[in-house]
Amino acid sequence: MTGLDNLKAAWSAGGALMPLLIFTSAAVWYWILVLSGHLSRRRAAALQAAIAETEGRDDRGFIDLPSLRQLPPTLRRRRFEALALDELAPVDREFQLLRVLVQLAPFLGLLGTVLGIIECLRHFDATSPAAGVGAGIAQALITTGAGIAAALPGVIALPLLRRRRDEVAALLRDLEMQLLPAATNRVERLKS
């Protein structure tokens, strides 16, 4: 039996939840890649270049700092808040979606386990106690394993991606401190 034949056998033995578990696994990987793209080192480098530009160095940034500096402090703050929101809001939404998928996958596996046990019990009667039990146990174990396998990449990636998100947020705070007058920062922090 080849690897492909084993996958086909597991797919059919896993029961009706296998397509949903495969979809969940693919979605977890997709959102890990999307978040990785949003939190790429290239973005962090652009933020660091913007900070360097505020300090008088001439690295290239993605913010038009000269025009931003010409704005009055309140408009400058609004423009900067819009920038920070553009950077972090989509990332936070995608984190939430990835968390939901990672939490959902083991429960789908558990549901498959329950359905497999029900299948075992349905075939278990006094006349032929062993008939059909193997298929139900196989379904229970395969869906449990598939649920865990679907969640595992997200469980590993979430803390790593969270750390990258926090680094980008720290760079945004540094940039805010460079761009906005200290008095404006203090007043706004007191208001919130």
Most confident of 13-17, 38-42, 102-106, 176-180: 102-106
Average pLDDT for the chain: 78
Question: What are the CA-CA distances from residue 66 to residues 17, 24, 55, 62 (Å)?
Answer: 56, 46, 12, 12
Which tokens sit at 20? 């949903």
Q: Is 70 exceeded by the pLDDT of residue 128? A: no
Helix ranges (DSSP H) in the chain: 3-13, 18-38, 41-54, 65-69, 73-123, 133-179, 182-191
Most confident of 117-121, 136-140, 148-152, 179-183: 148-152
Average pLDDT over residues 144-170: 91
Residue 192 lies in a domain: no
Residue 54 lies in a domain: yes
Residue 111 lies in a domain: yes
The three-point CA angle 146-150-155 to 5° equals 135
Residue 63 lies in a domain: yes
Residue 191 lies in a domain: no
Look up residue 181 and give its DSSP letter: -
Average pLDDT over residues 124-139: 71
For the chain, state the CA radius of gyration.
Answer: 26
What is the rounded (10 degree) CA torsion for 35, 87, 42, 36?
A: 0
Residue 22 lies in a domain: yes
Better-predicted residue by pLDDT, 128 or 89: 89
Euclidean distance between CA atoms 156 and 175, whole angstroms: 30
Euclidean distance between CA atoms 45 and 163, whole angstroms: 16
Domain of 9, in residue numbers: 3-184
Residue 9 lies in a domain: yes
Domain count, the chain: 1
Residue 36 lies in a domain: yes
